[in-house]
Amino acid sequence: MRRVWAILVAGVFLYFLIGQFLPIIPDFGNVDLFTRVAFDIINKSTTSNYNSVEFKKSKDLEDGSANVVTSIVVNYRSFDTLGEVSVLFCAAIGVGILASMLKSKRRIEFEEHKILRTSTGIALPLILLFGAYIFIHGHLSPGGGFPGGTTIALGVLLLMLSNNEFKVTDVAKHVEQSAGAGYVVVGLMGMAIGGVFLMNFLPTGVVGNLFSAGVVPIVYTFIGFKVGAELSNVISDLREG
Amino acid sequence: MSNIIYYVSFIILGIGIYGVVSQKNLFKQLISLSIIDTAVNIFIVALGYVEWGEAPIYSAVTPVAKFVDPLPQALVLTAIVIGVGTLALGSVLLMHIDEKYGSLDPDEIKDTREVVE
Amino acid sequence: MIALLIAVPLAFAFASIPHERLGRYFLPFVALFNLVCLFFFMQPEQILEVGKWPAAYGIALVLDNVSYPFLILVNFLILMMSLSATLENRFGTLLLVLTAAVNGIILTGDFFNSFVFLEIISVIAYIIAAHKDNALGAFKYLIFGGIGGTMYLLGAVSVYVKSGTLNMAYASFITDPIVVPTICIFFLITFLVELKVLPLGLWAPDVYSNGSSVTPIALGSVVTVSLVYLFSRIFLNIFDLPNPQLVGILAMISIILAELGALKQKNLGRALSFATISGISTVVAALSMRESEIASAAYFYLFNDVISKFILFTLFAYLGERGFKSNKTAGIAFTFASLSVIGFPMFAGFWAKYYLLKALFQASSYALPAIILIAAVIEAGYLIKWNVELWYKGEDTPENTPKVQDGEQDSEMENEANEVEESFIPFGAQIVTLLLALTLVVIGFMPSLVHNQTMSIANNVLDFRPYLDLILRGGM
């Protein structure tokens, strides 16, 4: 009986999606970017007139990152990223609260493995370095704070798998708190300097250099540390409560 | 038939909805929710595709700015993170349920509740 | 300046991590700060473009005549809740983020931004719903709420595809009669889940009846007010409801089913949660009619419902099902609140039902008033029965105690014996419930205080021109 209901509900929904929703969206690939705001965002001309952007040549545009998705996530729609950071923050606190309320004391132990232990010593610094590279170069290549932080947390997970005595200490909590507060402080500094919350108050430099795009690398560094610390806390809480 | 990616994402969405309604085991419901999130993310990224467009990054190999739409990609970045947060919370809640009732099957949970009362 | 309403609670939330109990001391001050800012430093008809990007490219926070009263109500409720609830470790931090998110979802003028704030509220709600060992109810809520959030995301993205931007005001320029209902069905599913319209609101009885002093108030009062605001903004101001008759019929069926469900419950918490479902379904049914008099009465009804349920759930959380023998003040507040829900004259609920029925009769609609009257009769039935039972408790044998729910209330069995009855209600909760009960009486005698506000909200929300002028500023 349950399966009948399920097929009915899924069928009605699919009928609505394919029959009514699909005709109103444009064909795959057949999009005219000029009708969407993305056109002005790609050409960095939301507050000025259209000027073509050239790699390593255009200087002091309204937004300096070569990665257009980064410019949306951290510059044009930075408020959404602040909300997203809060979602992760609340989820990590929730896992902490709920995992500490479990009555049975458990701790997941892994088998000791000599090869894993030795190779972790080689792989771990490379993983952490790669994670840091991802979030430092967020405005130049794909990636940014979230994948970078996740890679760092993966390094911590590898350390946990290979070494049973490793504990995530309170350092992670302090890192998380200061990084999160740092992001809000950057926003408030934008308010103090420029008059509007989350304004980009540093000079934007040349598109394509490492030191460009104003506040964007700073914000992504904060996010990278915060996400790395948070996910490490989540893994540690799930493991031992 | 160029819209095949839309059909694929809708079918995965349908599978996810079927899973949430029909599965009894709570963990399978959580996984079906995750499948729904994935299907929606695929759909949103596909909405931004421009034919012959490239990844929206200015670099030495893209002198002309013929990019795909970057805004849906930014939306999906946020949506994936939110899905991860929900999945983590659901898992911890399942650990609580399992500890309290001894199983993750709603039938057995109902039996345990009636015994307690 | 408007952004401070969101940034300050968030900053304090991050600052309250080092010590576990810091959050609960920050919360009343932050709520007070928000109220002071709203009363003295911010006036309606303001717009803030975050980051100084123009409204269509970035995010705009809008403070107009519709969001201003809602902000005041929500921050007032949070202030009251911070004084009356017992917050365990780290709940203060979560409630600070909830303050920021609820203020954000009322202020924002952008679809994706409202999705992000909706998800923040949902994640915090899943954690708060698991309070007092209620992981099963929280998990049910997680599944329902997760699907609702995904539908909202699909709706937001469809708005972007059809109108080219994610801004709410610019999105109102979509007028194609096939496109608008299709997009709105996505949003409608989300609101049916979150505003507890049966059958998608089946998570509510399990979540609200966990006997906690935080959960039903944070979710049932604070979050519901902000979501009713979002519902009115999207469906009365920007878009049209797709098929309003169907929504009205669904809500009416939900009212009747919820009242019948409440009648059968042996547990006071579940009965109250069914009463909440019925109350909010009435608001949804009234708002779906798109008339300014009916909408104003719906907001009055929401105000009454939210404050009475605050009192009822707080007292249920602290007293459980002990009687009122030793807590006479609590008993008075409880009785006042139940009479206001039923609609007794002299309380705010009477005026809420009176305005609603009057406006409905003027609009020549007879199905909804009939259902409201039937629901009021059923409500009177079980609320008076509960009041009588609780006032005279302690004289009967323990066989009167209702079915124990999940073994968490078996401590009451011991308290039924003749022990010295202490006062189980903290001082803060006593003051708050008395204050709110007094408010209900005051509004009952002077309804124009609230009624003028709700009339102005309803008139402004149905007229889309001021909102568009504010954001577009005379040009595209």
pLDDT tens per residue across span A41-60? 888 877 777 777 777 777 77
**B64: exposed, middle or buried (Cβ count in 10 Å: 0-12, 13-18, 19+):** exposed
Q: C395: how many CB neighbours lie within 10 A of its CB?
A: 8
Task: Verify whether the Cβ–Cβ distance B77 to A73 is below 8 Å.
Answer: yes
Query: Cα–Cα distance between C456 and A93 in angstroms, integer?
Result: 40
**Below-50 pLDDT ranges, chain A:** none
Residue B114 has pLDDT above 70, yes or no: no
DSSP H or E stretch at residue C48: strand C46-49
Gap from A95 CA to chain B (nearest CA, Å)? 6
Q: In the beta sheet, which residues pair with residue A67?
A: B57
pLDDT at C244: 83
pLDDT at C401: 43
pLDDT at B27: 92
pLDDT at C174: 80
**Is A176:A226 a contact under the CB 8 Å cutoff?**
yes
Task: Verify whether the Cβ–Cβ distance C90 to A25 is below 8 Å.
Answer: no
Sequence-distant (≥ 6) Cβ neighbours of residue C276 within 8 angstroms: C196, C204, C208, C216, C220, C305, C309
Q: Does A29 touch chain C (CB under 8 A)?
A: no
**Is C382:C263 a contact under the CB 8 Å cutoff?**
yes
pLDDT at C344: 83
Query: Cα–Cα distance between C231 and A49 in angstroms, integer?
Result: 37
DSSP H or E stretch at residue C60: strand C60-63
Helix/strand/coil for C49: strand
Gap from A131 CA to chain C (nearest CA, Å)? 24
pLDDT at B115: 61
Binned average pLDDT, 10 residues per bin, chain C of 476 residues: 88 85 86 90 83 84 88 92 84 92 92 94 93 88 94 93 87 83 90 88 87 87 93 87 84 90 85 90 89 88 91 86 74 87 84 88 84 88 85 56 40 40 70 85 83 83 80 58
ipTM: 0.93
Gap from A162 CA to chain B (nearest CA, Å)? 23
Sequence-distant (≥ 6) Cβ neighbours of residue B66 within 8 angstroms: B50, B52, B53, B54
Task: Verify whether the Cβ–Cβ distance C127 to A93 is below 8 Å.
Answer: yes
CB-side exposure of A93: number of CA atoms within 13 Å?
30
From residue C246, alpha-carbon distances to C133, C233, C252, C253, C362 in Å are: 38, 20, 10, 11, 21
- Please report the residues numbered 103 through 162 in chain A whose beta carbons come closer than 8 angstroms to any beta carbon of chain C: none
Q: Does B17 touch chain A (CB under 8 A)?
A: yes
pLDDT at B82: 94
Query: Cα–Cα distance between C283 and A69 in angstroms, integer?
Result: 41
Q: Phi/psi class of residue C454: alpha, beta or left (left: φ > 0; alpha: ψ in -120 to 50)?
A: alpha
Q: Does B3 touch chain A (CB under 8 A)?
A: yes
Residues of C with CB under 8 A from a CB of B: 112, 116, 119, 122-123, 126-127, 130, 133, 135-136, 138-139, 142-143, 146-147, 149-150, 153-154, 156-157, 160-161, 166, 403-407
Query: Cα–Cα distance between B83 and C146 in angstroms, integer?
Result: 9
pLDDT at C77: 93
- Please report the residues numbered 120 through 159 in chain A whose beta carbons come closer than 8 angstroms to any beta carbon of chain B: 140-142, 144, 146
Cα–chain center distance at C425: 24
pLDDT at B36: 95
Query: Cα–Cα distance between A42 and B53 in angstroms, integer?
Result: 13
pLDDT at C475: 40
- Closest Cα partner for C309 from C148, C392, C196? C196
Which residues of chain C have a CB within 8 Å of the CB of B72?
157, 160
pTM of the complete model beyond 0.90 = yes
